[in-house]
Chain A
Amino acid sequence: MKLQHTLGGLEGLGPVWTETRVFVEEWEKVIFGIHTAMMALSPQLPLPETPSVFKTVWTWADLRKGAESMNPFDYFKYRYYEKWLGGISGYFVSNGYLTEAELEAKTAEYLADPDKPLPEGGAAEIDARVVQYLVEGDSPKRDVAAEPAFAVGDTVLVKNVPTVEHTRLPGFLRNKTGVVTEVYPGAYVYLTDTGADGIGDGIEKAMPVYCVAFDPAELWPGNAEANFTLYADLYAAYLAEPVSAAAAA
């Protein structure tokens, strides 16, 4: 189990950071812009072809995988967009768009002269596609019949699926029971196949998603605040029928 998958409920962390800015350093805007462009230019989206040489898939799942694969100490050590900068530059190098040596050399140039202008140019179609992505989005809902196994009010057990490199199952919910409060209409895929974890991008992986209410006193017995409820949206692959007391006996 990765720490990043089960952050909920950790103790001993000290005060929260109440910083309300979105970016605390100017350079963070750059890496955010690059990430958003990569998502928009990613070839699996049904958007117009552009002259961009970007031909490999990049989704939120890829960014999240990078953060989830970090040493957990580093995960807490680096600020949000520092993790993005590391993950995204690593992706461009490992996919052959540029070399680490090129990046080092160019970094040295900008270290020596931070105000050196950026190169000019690029096809307008590229930016048009980026805007089109922001306007249209990328819904995971698929037009297939959903067959929800559970209904509102049902008690469900969160499965302890094998741990993998990337998941959408908050780890602190594993083996816990909750109550379905909403069955979202339709069926949903995820951005990428998570293997034994159970969700994926193929149409055959389109599945119901449920909103499930959990009692914090059951999640953290004797150690949770009173009078609150935790709700999580969970893919059907993560849920099972609770084992009844009789069957377990």
Chain B
Amino acid sequence: MTAQFFYDADREKKNAARAKALQALLIEKGVITSKTVDTVLGYFETKMGPFNGAKAVARAWVDPAYKERLVADTAAALAELEFPEGMAGAEGEHMKAVANGDGVHNLIICTLCSCYPWPVLGLPPYWYKDPTFRSRAAREPRAVLKEFGLEVPSETEIKVWDSSAQIRWFVVPERPAGTDGLSEEQLAALVTPESMMGVAVAKAA
């Protein structure tokens, strides 16, 4: 069993060298170009990311009718806003929003892998990909949320959504108190990826 639980002291150095070696060979052999990796990463910095989801949530906070449309027909509601092209693109072909409120708190998980709504949220953070989170959130979401610093009252129903087929779920958190008079842009700045996946709530700055 020693080998099973042995980590190389140079673990990250070797991983880094192997990843770069793979990239170099794939460029040399004509699989990808020297710009491919940066092109992908740049796309997630500018086109697909949590800045899009935050914008939709902020609109939902100032316009209750928009919030209703966002939940009822997520794709159509997103299409109303000025987003970069690709809001129904990779990993966003079939997205659905669920809203917190009225005694309901939503939590998104993916017990089989790490399905995540790329266009509105970008790439999944490590907590979402963690096998321990994926296992425990299915059976004891309150205990898990407490570890994230979020206490959900026992009278609040928790809805846990396991992303096991085509739908990529995200949460519309509740507007925090004390944010009257803030602009949509200021409100969007309060919306974190964690609040749009349900392990946090949005808080006033």
Residues of A participating in the B interface, judged by any CB pair closer than 8 Å: 4-5, 7-11, 13-22, 24-34, 36-37, 39, 41, 51-54, 60, 64, 67, 73-77, 80, 82, 85, 88-89, 92, 97-98, 102-103, 106-111, 114, 118-124, 126-127, 130-131, 133-141, 167-170, 172, 184, 188, 209, 211, 216, 219-220, 223-235
Contact = CB atoms under 8 A, between A and B. Distances in A.
A103 B21 contact: yes
B17 interface: yes
A27 B15 contact: yes
Contacts of B19: 27-28, 30-31, 85
B155 to A, nearest CB: 7
21 contacts: A7-B135, A9-B135, A16-B137, A17-B133, A19-B125, A33-B37, A36-B90, A52-B30, A77-B5, A97-B31, A103-B22, A107-B17, A111-B14, A118-B23, A119-B28, A120-B34, A122-B35, A127-B36, A139-B93, A227-B156, A228-B157
Contacts of A14: 132
A219 B122 CA distance: 32
A30 B158 CA distance: 37
Contacts of A39: 90
B174 interface: no
Given A17-B127, A133-B90, A225-B139, A107 B165 contact: no
Contacts of B138: 7-9, 172, 216, 219, 230
Contacts of A75: 131
B191 to A, nearest CB: 14
Interface in B1-46: 4-5, 12-41, 43
Contacts of A230: 138, 160, 162
Interface of B: 4-5, 12-41, 43, 47-48, 85-86, 88-94, 111-114, 122-127, 129-144, 147-148, 154-167, 193-194, 199
A73 B4 contact: yes
Contacts of A53: 29-31
Given A73-B4, A134-B86, A209-B166, A16 B18 contact: no
A141 B125 contact: no
Contacts of A27: 12, 15-16, 19-20
Contact of B37 (A20, A29, A41, A229): A29
A135 B89 contact: yes
B166 A25 contact: no
B32 to A, nearest CB: 5
B40 A32 contact: yes
Contacts of B127: 16-20
Contacts of B37: 29-30, 33-34, 37
A44 to B, nearest CB: 15
Contacts of B136: 10, 13, 16
Given A75-B131, A233-B162, A137 B89 contact: yes
Contacts of A97: 26, 29, 31
Given A10-B136, A33-B38, A228-B158, A80 B30 contact: no
A24 B34 contact: no
